[in-house]
Amino acid sequence: MKNIISGIMVIVGAIAVAWFVWIWGFCRFYVGPSQMAVITSKIGKPLPPGQILAEKGQKGILRDVLGEGRHFLNPIFYQRDIRTVVIIVPGKIGIVTSKVGEDLPDGEFLAAEHQKGIWRKALGPGKYRMNPYGYTIDLVDAISIPIGYAGVITSQSGTQAPHGEFAAEGQKGVRQDVLQPGFYYVNPKEFKVDVLEIGVNQVSLLGRTGGEVIMKGQMASQNYVMEQLEKNVLDQQKQKRLDYLSKSVQSMQRRQAPGQNAAAQERADVQRVKQEYIQGDSMSTLGLSQFVEFPSRDGFHIRLDMTVEIELPPADIALIFSRYGDLPALVDKIIMPQITSVSRNKGSEYKAKDFIMGEGREKFQDDLTRTLAATLLEKRIVVHNALIRHVEVPEEILDPIQQASIAIEQNLTNMERQNTAKKLAELNTELSLIEQKREQVAQETEKIKAGIRADQEKQVAEIAADAIRRVAEIARDTAGIAADTVRKLGVADATAIKLVEGEKANGLQLKAKAFGDPVGFALLHFAEELNDDVSVNIIHSGPGTLWTDLKNARTSDLGGALMINPSSR
């Protein structure tokens, strides 16, 4: 029995070891960071027709992928394929094309997450483990609207919006709301975003050298990703405008008959402007071959160079784009024709010399600005200024006017020289008068200063004398007060002594009267006034003289004689 149990344990141990080796040696696999495992099942039910990815229990490529970490799968029944996950970095978005799911309805080309086709939802930055056999992810740039621009949104899905109206939710067309400067994750398959300059731009007409539109250049950014995205957006806009220029050149070439010098010159100008625009570092300048030529009221040929400052209001930018298109098309179709038309109409009301003389030229410029502003305001374009930069007039009228102007200016110069000499003489006279006045003021100042010093010395002397007088008066009053004080103190002391001693005498009289015997009272008073230390000795006198023997007597021998101790008072 013991051998049977031992044999069973050996078998179980061998099975356990074999199982461990099989699981950890053959079934175990590892999915590293930023990786995923696509699993293909070799067992299960066959896939229905049209189905690409298999679910659990079906045979084929499984829909769900395995993420990072350790996994165990039987290599006999499952096959693994390690793939790198899709990483979307900041500044990019992922456009998903699904090969699985429900079919799209008719007329739709953007799908929901459960449908086949291009997903409407775009993937933002992050890591995505999506089965590459069922989903394709294309990385495109996010939309970054630079400062000074606005993003006009054109919806590319839905039913077509009514003509002349903005597209609403679920409609196709230009939307009224625009994107302000910032960063946006917008699916370019769902929305097309065109960036347009807002604020003030300059449109310059430079005669035969062509015209140019001075627009906002790319603004610097400290964020590298944002800077790159803005550059990409502006480059795309530049390419669109370049395409428009190419179409404009082709259209002009079709309109003009071959062999015409003017047409050849214009074609050369447009090609030159186009080449300059291609080679430009930024999109700050866009050239269009336009110029203004018209006859004056007196029949002379006038050509103008001018600069017009226009503004596209942010609130109307979507409407302007929906009606006229991008800024080059707006300038080409609306602004330039209006500038040339208004300039010709207004210019024909002025004589040639009005464009040379300052007052007439300024009046024409103000008149042109007002008319152009009123005309373009109807199209939601604001005109701030129309500045005349250069005027070309025929030499036959320009030279006489210039000579007359030179003569007038020479005469004015001579008059100004005379006025200058006159003013110089007046100035010298005034300088002399100023010097005289300065000396006079200096003398008056010294006189006033001397008077002030004398007055100050007089006031000081008067104050000193008054102080001495006051000191003497105070000393006199002090001496009188001191004398009076001594007199009054003497009188007070004498009166006090008189009163005290008088009262003492009165008291003694009263005491003597009350005692009845003045002699006896005197003795009593004498006794009372004796010092307590006085001793009385009685000395008995013997034969001889008393006073002679006193000096030889001892105290014990004094007998009945009376002796007062000299120490007593």
Which pLDDT tens digit goes with each residue over 233-277? 666 666 666 666 566 555 555 554 444 455 555 555 545 544 444
Q: What is the mean predicted confidence (pLDDT) over 306-335?
A: 84
Beta bridge partners of 81: 38
At 466-480, the pLDDT tens digits run 899 899 889 888 988
Residue 358: other Cβ atoms inside 10 A: 8
Binned at pLDDT 50, 70 and 90, residue 229 comes out as low
Which candidate, 200, 379, 354, places its Cα nearest to that of 368?
354
The CATH number of domain 152-181+192-393 is 3.30.479.30: yes
> Would you state the structure tokens that stand for residue 254, as one six-digit string?
């079709």
Of 87, 74, 68, nearest to 40 by C-alpha is 74
Task: Give the tokens for residue 168.
Answer: 């609403």
Does the pLDDT of residue 328 top 80, yes or no?
no
Greatest Cα pair distance, the chain, in angstroms, is 200
What pLDDT shows up at residue 293?
78
Whole-number pLDDT of residue 234: 67
> What is the rounded CA–CA span in Å between residue 524 and residue 537?
19
Mean pLDDT along residues 399-421: 80
Q: Which two tokens stand for residue 97?
A: 């094309």
Residues with Cβ < 8 Å from 175, sequence gap 6 or more?
A: 153, 154, 155, 166, 167, 318
First to last CA, the chain: 154
Q: Which amino acid is at 221?
A: S
**SS3 label, residue 307:** strand
pLDDT at 218 over 60: no
Q: 10 Å Cβ neighbour count for 290?
A: 22
Whether the per-residue pLDDT at 135 is higher than 90: the answer is: yes
CA angle 210, 215, 219 (to 5 degrees): 140
Domain range summary for the chain, segments of one domain joined by +: 26-84, 85-141, 152-181+192-393, 398-496, 530-564
pLDDT per residue as tens digits for the range 3-60: 788 878 888 888 888 898 888 888 999 999 999 999 999 988 998 988 889 988 899 9
Identity of the amino acid at 414: N
Nearest residue to 40 via CA among 76, 86, 85, 84:
76
What length is written for the chain?
Answer: 569
Query: According to the model, what pLDDT value does residue 330 have?
Result: 81
pLDDT at 510 over 70: yes
Q: Average pLDDT in the 304-317 region?
A: 84
Residues 6+ apart with CB under 8 A from 302: 293, 294, 295, 296, 347, 352, 355, 391, 392, 393
CA torsion 519-523-529-534 (nearest 10°) is 160
Instruction: List for the chain the helix, strand, coil content (%; round to 5).
Output: 50, 25, 25
Residue 250 has a pLDDT of 56
What is the SS3 assignment for 152? strand
Q: How far is CA 276 from CA 204, 212, 280, 282, 332, in A?
A: 16, 11, 6, 11, 18
Counting residues of the chain whose pLDDT is more than 70, the rounded percentage is 76
Q: Give residue 349's Cα distance to chain centre.
A: 50
Report d(CA 474, CA 476) in Å as an integer.
Answer: 6
Encode pLDDT of 193-204 as tens digits: 888 888 777 777
- Mean pLDDT, the chain, rounded, equals 79
Helical pair 224-255 and 261-279, crossing angle rounded to 10 deg: 170
Question: Measuring CA to CA, how many Å separate 301 from each of 226, 365, 471, 523?
Answer: 52, 18, 108, 164
pLDDT, greater one: 519 or 440: 440
Give residue 85's pLDDT.
Answer: 93
What are the backbone angles phi and psi of residue 80, rounded to the nearest 5°? -115, 150
With a CB cutoff of 8 Å and minimum separation 6, the contacts of 343 are 292, 294, 304, 306, 368
